[in-house]
Chain A
Amino acid sequence: MPLGLLGTKVGMTQVFNEEGTMTPVTVLQLGPCPILQIKTPEKNGVPADGYHALQVGYADKKRKQANRPERGHVSNALESKRKKKRNPADIPKKADCEPQKYIREFRLDAPSNFEVGHLLKVGEVFPDTKAVDVIGTSKGRGFAGVLKRHGFGGLPAAHGAKKVHREPGSTSSLASNRGSGRPKKGKKLAGRHGASQVTIRNLKVVKIDQENNLMLVEGAVPGFNGALVMVRPTNYKS
């Protein structure tokens, strides 16, 4: 599994591509992301995390808004009673950066060459990536009906239908669910819609602006402008 980056969805616009036609793009601001922790299956022969991963942070948080664990996670300088009792050699090196607003992990197949505290930039993580996957949280729709939530067709506008145009219709019968008379488990009904994690795969990378830490991907990504997105090289196999 490849390394990715955290960032925010800036918004959508249009750019001209090489053929001279307009392309709808989403502008993503990615990184710079400090590496906060490196997870390994074992450390010095002792089983540790059990897998390879990089823990990266994104967006600084004010120190007074961060709690002590958050501050201690990024800095060796924070004093604590427990730390004093520990053997100094056992205390891992920290990133030495500001407390981070968002912290996420990227699972890796092999140990990485990066060190804790390294600032990951768009250019080094996606040097010549053609397409990416974007993971975000979709916009919340609140309590939505079955037409919006599950794409039901609804009931007729006329032909005797009255006050039931957007209803789900019949949910069960006496014979349904092997004669129990109850609706089947998992019956699609109205309910909370959106505000869930959504992955959009295989979005074409239009441009990478290393100077401003921007990436332009073709098409839409989930969530509202300013929302956190996770971007990784695509695992889509065509």
Chain B
Amino acid sequence: MKNSILKLVEEQNQITSGKLTKKQGELQKTGQNREVPKFEIGDTLDVHQWIETGEKGRLQVFTGVVISKRGEGSSEMFTVRRIVQGEGVERIFPIHSPKIAKIEVKRSGQVRRAKLYYLRDRVGKATRLKERKEKPTTTSKSAN
């Protein structure tokens, strides 16, 4: 069992990281809190990542399939895979990172594995996933 004090620290960290910074808020023109949608392995996501460039910042979108999720609490990470110019690219994001402005679920895939590493060995049409019927609901990150 995890230490109660450690849990407390992680929860506090999660709340602070859930708040958008001032610059991000201006760019997004949305509320103060970052929404983390519930997504599953095999879903296709749009990850809006905050790129700091000097005075200003901009958002970069990385679209791909979630092939793994690991960790728990504030240190939870997920891996997104996409094909760029015939080359597989994988990026690992912390779910609660303050650098992630928004995560959008584009499409949910039906899979039977928790880790889709087998997609690394496939190319072209074989990488497609069957679409899942029911839609996952969104939950606010700072709900607790």
Residues in chain A within 8 A of chain B (CB atoms): 10-11, 13-16, 20-22, 27, 29, 209, 212, 214, 216, 225
Contacts and interface: CB of A to CB of B under 8 A. Distances in A.
Contacts, number: 47
Contacts of B13: 13, 15-16
B6 A13 contact: yes
Interface string B91-108: 000101111000000000
A80 B98 CA distance: 62
B8 A20 contact: no
Interface residues of B, number: 18
A22 B3 contact: no
Given A16-B17, A20-B99, A22-B94, A10 B74 contact: no
Contacts of B99: 20-21
25 contacts: A10-B3, A10-B6, A11-B3, A11-B6, A13-B9, A13-B10, A13-B13, A13-B74, A14-B74, A14-B75, A15-B10, A16-B13, A16-B74, A16-B96, A16-B97, A20-B50, A20-B97, A20-B98, A20-B99, A22-B94, A27-B5, A27-B6, A209-B9, A209-B12, A214-B5
Nearest to B49: A20
Nearest to A17: B98
A224 to B, nearest CB: 12
A111 to B, nearest CB: 35
Nearest to B50: A20
Closest 5 CB pairs of A and B: A20-B99, A20-B98, A15-B13, A16-B17, A14-B75
Interface of B is mostly: helix
A16 B77 CA distance: 13
Contact of A13 (B17, B75, B94, B97): B75
A22 B75 contact: yes
A13 B74 CA distance: 9
Contacts of A21: 99
A214 B9 CA distance: 9
B18 to A, nearest CB: 10
A209 B5 CA distance: 11
B50 to A, nearest CB: 7
Contacts of B96: 16
Task: Give the most central of A14, A209, A216: most B CB within 10 Å.
Answer: A14
Contacts of A13: 6, 9-10, 13, 74-75
Interface in B1-25: 3, 5-6, 8-10, 12-13, 16-17
Given A13-B74, A14-B74, A21-B99, 9 more contacts: A10-B5, A11-B5, A14-B75, A15-B13, A16-B94, A20-B17, A22-B97, A27-B6, A27-B9
Contacts of A14: 74-75
A15 B97 CA distance: 9
A16 B3 contact: no
Contacts of A15: 9-10, 13, 74
